[in-house]
Amino acid sequence: MAVKKFKYLSPEWAEEVVKRVNEKLTPEKMKHTTSSMLTVNTNCPDGKDRAVYYEIVNGVVKEVSIREGKMPQAEFTITADYQLFARISRAELKARRALMSGKMKLKGPLVKALKLSPLVDRLNEVIATIPAEY
C-alpha cells in the first residue's frame, strides 16, 4: 500500500505534526513547557518565505500553523533557508548543529533556548517520521 505523503509546509502537514507530536510526546516528555516558536523558511521553492508557528501550552502542542506575510510574535524565531529546514525535518541534520554552523539564526533568549533544545530535538524526531514531499 502506498504511504500517504504530505506536502511539507502545507496545512495538512501541519495538522499531521500536531497529531503525531501529541500522540508520541506526552506533556511529561515535553516537561510541561509553555512557549511559542516560529520557524521561518526563506527561499521556499515558489520563491516565498513561509513560517511554521508552534504554540505549546503546558507540554501540549496546541497549534502548528503555516504562516505567510505578516508573522505572529513568538518567544523564539528561528530563520533559515527552506532547504536547511527540509534537511532537519528529514532528520538529516540536527537543529543544534545548524545553529552552531551559523546557517540558522535564533532570536529569543538563549538560556531558555538551550534548556528547551532537547525538547526541540524530540519534536524534530517526531516530525521526521512524517512522510513528506519537498
Partner 1 sequence: MARKPVSPKDPYFIDFPKRVKSVQAEMKKQGIHVYLGTRLRTMSWTTDVFCPWRSYIVIPPQGLPTAITFVIDAARVANDSWLGEEYVLGYGPMGGQDQITLLANLIQPHLKGGKGVVGIESGTGTYLPEGHITQYEYESLQKALPKVRLQNAHDIIDLLSMIKDEGTINRFREASRIVDIGHREVLKSIADGGYKGMTETEIAGLAAHAMRKAGSEWEWSFTGGNEIASGYRTGFAAGACTPATRKALKAGEPLTVDLHAMFKLALGDHAHNYLLGPATKRQKWHARNFVDMVKLCLRTYRAGISPSSLADKVLDFCEEQGFADYMVPGFEHGIGMTGDEWRIGLNDGPFPYWTNPEHKYQAGEMVICAIQYSCPEEKIGFRYENPILITTKGCEVMSKIPLAIEEI
Is 31 one of the binding residues for partner 1 (CB under 8 A)?
no
Q: Are strands 76-81 and 60-67 parallel, antiparallel or unpaired?
A: unpaired
Report how far residue 76's alpha carbon sits from residue 54's, in angstroms, rounded to the nearest whole number: 10
For partner 1, which stretch binds (CB under 8 A), given 8-16, 35-43, 55-63, 99-107? 99-107
68-97 residues near partner 1, rule: CB under 8 A: 79-80
Q: How far is the CB of 15 from partner 1 (least distance, A)?
A: 29
Cα 82 from Cα 134, distance rounded (Å): 9
Cα–Cα distance for residue pair 95/71, rounded to 1 Å: 21
Nearer to partner 1 (CB atom), residue 14 or residue 36? 36
Site for partner 1 (CB under 8 A): how many residues? 17
Backbone angles phi, psi at 57, to 5 degrees: -125, 120
Point out which residues bind partner 1 (CB under 8 A): 79-80, 98-107, 109-111, 113-114
